[in-house]
Structure 1
Amino acid sequence: MKNRNFSVGILVSTYNWPQALEVIFKSIMQQTHQPDEILIADDGSGAETAALIERYRSIFNIPLKHAWQEDAGFRKSTILNKAIKLAEADYIIEIDGDIVLHPAFIEDHVRHARRGIFVQGARTMISEHKTREILATGQPDINFFSSGISNRFNSVHLPSLSFLIRANSRSSENIKGCNLAFWKDDFIAINGYNNLFHGWGSEDYEFAARLINTGVLKRRLKLAAVCYHLHHSCNSREQEQVNQRRYSEAVVKRLTFCTNGYAEV
């Protein structure tokens, strides 16, 4: 791993959940392979989140960069673009602000990084009770044997066998931005995320579709890059159908570029 010739950034999207963000920070500190920078995509959080980030700047020995925008509803695509504007890393590992990392999460992603592909990892779901326990202790102590997790297979960490599990490399279905990795220059080439996506849903599908349409193929990663999803209430689905139509357009028209994206923020 020490011989890699590219730099790595971990990109964390967040909104007004500093307790979860602190657990994420602690799970980053436990990584066997530290990132070269941490990028926070903050969709309008308040002062408590800003203070937490400022405190951890003095704890981490790597750059911790904070992109913030005014709270004007769910605008995840736009803030992700703004955060990547701050990035110096060659390779970006994207997670959501409700994701706790296995200690080898970054190491696994770096090992599987290849030019011409992006990587979609899996997640294990944490129950409401177990989530309360983790947030109460402030510690990211969870593993395959923990109580209070579902779809437990996704928490199996056997990276030497991950090559056995494959998926359609040209399908943008079932893409999740909570565990996603890509090259920054591929991101820029398609103009990043589409800023027209407001509200929950399909922004990651549409982003992946444009990557695939340019010839950057998907690698489905299992048994490695394990992460755990903290329980929370669902976001509003009000814009889901509009966003789904926008994604379908990218697939049908084989779009490779969005006209309102990374370059426009």
Structure 2
Amino acid sequence: MLDQYAVFGNPIAHSQSPQIHTWFAKQTHQRLQYTAILAPEDDFEASARIFFAKGGVGANVTVPFKLDALVFADKLSPRARRAGAVNTLQKGKNGEIYGDNTDGVGLVSDLTNNLGFSLMDKKVLLLGAGGAARGVIEPLLNAGIAQLKIANRTPEKAQQLVQVFHVLETGITLTSGNWASLEDEQYDLIINATSSSLSGDLPPLPDGLLTQKSLAYDLMYSKQPTPFMLWAKQQGAAQVADGLGMLVEQAAEAFFLWRQVRPETQPVLQHLKSLEKA
């Protein structure tokens, strides 16, 4: 019987994960089956327990279950514990479920390897203070940036994240604020981790945040440019990107955790982009 993997979400029909992991498996000659599972919004735990009880060995977790997966896991990686969210589950030999978070690693890999953007000594603005934001902070702090500001509609939530991640003692300037606090500031990299793109909206951002060398990155991925991406282009950003590359890179990290084989991401990413254009 093939090793069983899955992605849990609600909704889930749109997920690219089954396609991505099937391509990874073919590329690395791994024998596995990967499916998408629509879990009830109010009972992720039951769906996950059934999956692992029937022989499942690993799973990805997407919206809205990353906090549920955190609670479900028996053991957590340090990065998952600090992120307060789990997107990757693995069943150990003793039956314990191990929870990890590969989102931030996926983002940094996409920025540096696929987009050719050096994070060294960069001034970074992270928009949002929810689960998506929490998952990417630690890898950004470990990537050599000089400053990170977390901005949110309610600044108290952003300040809470500053307090959580200050314990890493990276020596990096870590600050927080609301949208109004961004007036007269400029950044090398702006990452949209808010849910605004889901509703076709945009945070009320002031003009002048971006320079002609800046990169604007939306964690959402979409066939059409998101409102944040359109805003960034109008503001003169040098580069604008969505989260498709991050999706592929975080999947590759999860695949490595499960199989101890690291797939090549470029062929898969290019194939997905070609499908979007078709």
TM-score class, shorter-chain normalisation, is: 0.3 to 0.5
Q: Which has the larger radius of gyration?
A: 2
Higher strand share: 2
Q: TM-score, normalised by structure 2?
A: 0.31
- Highest RCO, 1 vs 2 (Cα 8 Å, sep ≥ 6): 1
Q: TM-score, normalised by structure 1?
A: 0.32
